[in-house]
Amino acid sequence: MRSGTLAATTLILAATCSTASFTSSPAEETGGPVLRGARIHARSCAACHGVEGRGDGPGAVELGPRPRDFTAGKFRSRSTESGRPPRRSDISNVVRVGRAGTAMPAFRGLLSEGEIADVVDFILTLRPRGPSDQEPEAFALPPFAPTTAEQLSEGRALYLTVGCWKCHGTDGSGRGPSARKLESDEGRRIRPRDFRYDPFRGGHDFDNVARTVLSGLIGTPMPSHAEILVVPRESVDAVLLSLPPEVRPEVEEFRRAAPSSAEVAALDDADWLRIRDRNLVSLARYVLSLSRRDRFFYRLFREDPELEARKP
Ligand code: HEC
Ligand code: HEC
């Protein structure tokens, strides 16, 4: 027995030593982290994400949402433009903090920073390779200014004019008129977030909402809104009639202040971006303000959104 254990130890030692000596050769320097990452993946991730990272591990069967299929390369937490791949740091951040309200655990404290880096290296080898495989630029997010009442009503008007309400509902309940028939890319039923009660999977903070609005959520019907946040008055007029009559007055003030389409066309890039960022802050601020999760009655009675009367 004792000699058996000793032999095993020697073997492991030998294996460790040989990996150590391998890492000195340049070819293995790239293979090293990926191999270590594959081992970490097999131990800590494969139960849900599957041995090959296809999101089909034995623990995935009953999960909603399902674990991500790494081979599809569609990562939702992104700080990059719609259509671009995520940055490495986007993925390591998910591994560190998890995804709120889903089975995806936070591994900070369970895996060292080095192990997280290795497992991310491994995951990145699984996605389909394309010409855009280089690390893309991150969004420059505007600073998050303190909230004014004016900002909130502007955010509300934007929420209505750019069409968030169609999926997320005029009340933020996630039950807008388009919400019923939404599916993810894998053909599974998907529900827009209920801004009042659902946790935000990427975090209940400005950066996540801003990133989600700019980038959209790849793999879901939630589109990027990066290009439509500077709304000319003519566009407000055009959507006004499609809004439920009771909310139309809430857009009036915003409509009056909106620039004409000729004025928008005449903006240079810097001015356009300044207005876009200002609108982004107002919109995100409004969305965040809808949360009822830290309210007294929610904590006391755990209000159940499923029991509420349905309205658009
Ligand atoms: C208990 C199940 C479970 C385990 C274990 C697990 N995951 Fe996940 N993971 C999930 C689920 C579920 C999702 C989808 C979350 C969503 O849709 O927001 C996910 C999503 C992800 C994503 C995608 C995030 C995005 O932005 O789209 C990454 C990356 C990820 N997991 C990495 C890992 C790594 C690395 C490990 C192991 C160290 C791991 N996961 C272990 C369940 C798990
Ligand atoms: C076509 C329908 C649709 C539209 C329009 C839409 N969303 Fe979404 N949104 C969704 C769906 C579906 C999800 C949930 C995706 C998931 O489960 O991963 C979502 C999720 C979100 C989330 C949650 C992100 C997280 O971390 O959990 C935020 C924030 C959000 N949307 C904001 C907005 C805002 C603001 C607008 C308008 C600018 C908007 N959405 C427009 C469908 C939509």
Provide the residue ranges of all domains of the chain, joining segments of one domain with +: 28-126, 149-307
* CA gap 261, 241 in Å, rounded: 19
pLDDT at 201: 96
Higher-pLDDT residue of 164, 21: 164
**Number of alpha carbons in the 13 Å side-chain half-sphere of residue 250:** 17
Average of per-residue pLDDT across 63-84: 91
Which tens digits make up the pLDDT trace of 177-197? 999 989 998 888 999 999 999
pLDDT at 16: 38
Burial class of 194 by CB neighbour count within 10 A (0 to 12, 13 to 18, 19+): buried
Identify the residue whose C-alpha is closest to ligand 2 atom 39: 164
Q: What is the pLDDT of residue 83?
A: 84
The CA 214 to ligand 2 mean position distance, Å, reads: 11
Which of 13-22, 128-137, 151-160, 179-188 is predicted least confidently?
A: 13-22
> 178 CA distance to ligand 1 centroid (A)?
28
Residue 64's pLDDT is 85
Q: Which fold has domain 28-126?
A: Cytochrome Bc1 Complex; Chain D, domain 2 (1.10.760)
Least confident of 116-130, 144-158, 291-305: 291-305
Cα(236)–Cα(42) distance, integer angstroms: 52
Question: pLDDT of 146-157, one tens digit each?
Answer: 889 999 999 999
Pocket test for ligand 2, best of 152, 168, 209 (most atoms within 8 A of CB): 168
User: Residue 19: what are its φ and ψ, rounded to 5°?
Assistant: -65, -40
pLDDT, residue 147, reads 84
Pocket of ligand 2 (CB under 6 A): 76, 162-164, 166-168, 178, 182, 190, 192-193, 200-202, 208-209, 212-213, 217, 220-222, 225, 283, 287
Residue 127: predicted pLDDT: 87
Residue 8 confidence (pLDDT): 41
Residue 247: pLDDT band (50, 70, 90) is very high
**138 φ/ψ sector (left φ>0, alpha ψ -120 to 50, else beta):** beta
Q: What region, left, alpha or beta, does residue 21 occupy, with left being phi > 0 and alpha being psi -120 to 50 degrees?
A: alpha
CA 310, distance to chain mean position in Å, is 27
Residue located nearest, by CA, to atom 12 of ligand 1: 67
> Quick check: 277 pLDDT over 50?
yes
pTM over 0.95: no
- Range in 2-16, 23-37, 109-123 with the lowest mean pLDDT: 2-16
- What is the residue whose two structure tokens read 């003519």? 234
Averaged pLDDT score across all residues of the chain: 86
Structure tokens at 167: 């999926």
The Cα–Cα gap between 76 and 221 comes to 12
Q: Which ligand has the minimum distance to the alpha carbon of residue 116?
A: 1
Band (pLDDT 50/70/90 cuts) for residue 61 is confident
**Per-residue b/e over 212-248, b at no fewer than 16 CB within 10 Å?**
bbbbbbbbbbbebbeeebbbbbebbeebeeebeeebe
pLDDT of 244 reads: 96
